[in-house]
Amino acid sequence: MKLKHWISLLFVLLGSCLIVISLIIVYSTYPVRNNIDQTITNYFYSSRNEVISIIFYIITHLGEELVYIGIITILYYTWDKSKAYKIMAVVLSSTVVNGLFKYSFKLERPNQELWYKGSEETSPGLPSGHTQIATSFWGSFALLIKKWWIYIVSILLVLLIGFSRIILAVHWFTDVLMGLGLGLLILAFFIEFEDKITNYVNSLATRYKVILSFLLFIFLIIPVIVVLPSNLVVNGTQVTPLLDMLKLITLFSTATLSYAVEKDFVNFNSKPDKWWKYIIRVIIGVVMLILFYYGLKVLFNLIIESVAWVGIKPTLDIIRYALLGPVLILLSPWIMQKLNV
């Protein structure tokens, strides 16, 4: 058996054990958290100081959605577009899985009075999304790079991001444990099927890749519509879990559709021939991301105010995320090629 199969088997065993242990700890005393969760949370809360809190507050923001979108975008333009897309697929798939589990369990987080100031969380606790998605992102990145120091850095970042959720008291220990477990299972799937899926998709004509993109959207959207609530009031704030997930799935689907036709329309080379072109590409990519992520948000808010119709906001939000796919995969690379950078 090849080394990668042993690694995937190890991830399956370890991930499964972490998930089972988490569930046993939670449900052995639920709904009272009179277990290791409460003990660990109370310990770190009582020993928390401002310097440590600020450091981990910064670390925890490394696990935010926009950070991953930005990093993947830069990797697409300056490293390897195929591998960057694979990382994006792993991360967004992991995000969907995390949302399905969160709203299936619907378990509470630690008391909001314990949260570090500035922390804003509106979703259920189990499993930790930051931990799971960090595991998926940095794990897939390290597996594609295949350098020992990247493995070390990736492991440290995953552990630090997971630990930050406990330090800031926005997650229980078991939330982080289960997030890590699910992340490892997703990485095991990635290890086993990455080559097979890549070879199969590459063998298809463009029209079949387009069809697969639409099928992917349907495959992801059905369980999300069934499981996730459309509206909730959490800590006095109205949240829209279903809409938030629909936006990410829309981004994933339009990015996949754009990637399917990219070779026919752009055929972007992600490895420039001069060092300064890397810098120009990053600048163009960041500007386009800010322009369409934040710029359109401002524009759409002005439209909503002008027509006095708040009900149109969900539609405009989905349009904004839908445009990000072709903008980042097709338009930005096309601009770079026209500028010869």
Domain range list for the chain: 1-203, 239-341
> The whole model's pTM is what?
0.91
Binned at pLDDT 50, 70 and 90, residue 50 comes out as confident
Q: How far apart are CA 62 and CA 100, in angstroms?
A: 22
Check pLDDT > 60 for residue 236. Answer: no
Binned at pLDDT 50, 70 and 90, residue 239 comes out as low
Q: How far apart are CA 91 and CA 132, in angstroms?
A: 9
Report, as an integer, the average pLDDT of 20-42: 85
| Three-state secondary structure call for residue 237 | strand
Q: What is the pLDDT of residue 234?
A: 58
Binned at pLDDT 50, 70 and 90, residue 28 comes out as confident
Q: What is the pLDDT of residue 122?
A: 76
Report, as an integer, the average pLDDT of 203-232: 88
* C-alpha atoms less than 13 angstroms from C-alpha of 270 in its C-beta half-sphere: 20
333 against 106, higher pLDDT: 333
Q: How far apart are CA 232 and CA 226, in angstroms?
A: 15
Beta bridge partners of 234: 237
Q: How far apart are CA 209 and CA 215, in angstroms?
A: 10
User: Which of the residue ranges 182-191, 244-253, 311-320 has the most confident prediction, judged by mean pLDDT?
Assistant: 182-191
Do 210 and 254 form a contact (C-beta atoms < 8 A)? no
- What is the CATH T-level fold of the domain 1-203, as seen in this structure? Vanadium-containing Chloroperoxidase; domain 1 (1.20.144)
Do 285 and 332 form a contact (C-beta atoms < 8 A)? yes
Tell which residue, 219, 190, 260, 233, has the closest CA to residue 100. 219
Do 267 and 273 form a contact (C-beta atoms < 8 A)? no
Lowest mean pLDDT segment, chosen from 69-78, 156-165, 268-277, 302-311: 302-311
Q: What region, left, alpha or beta, does residue 27 occupy, with left being phi > 0 and alpha being psi -120 to 50 degrees?
A: alpha
Q: How far apart are CA 35 and CA 250, in angstroms?
A: 40
Q: How far apart are CA 5 and CA 65, in angstroms?
A: 30
Instruction: Calculate what percentage of the chain has a pLDDT beyond 90.
Output: 58
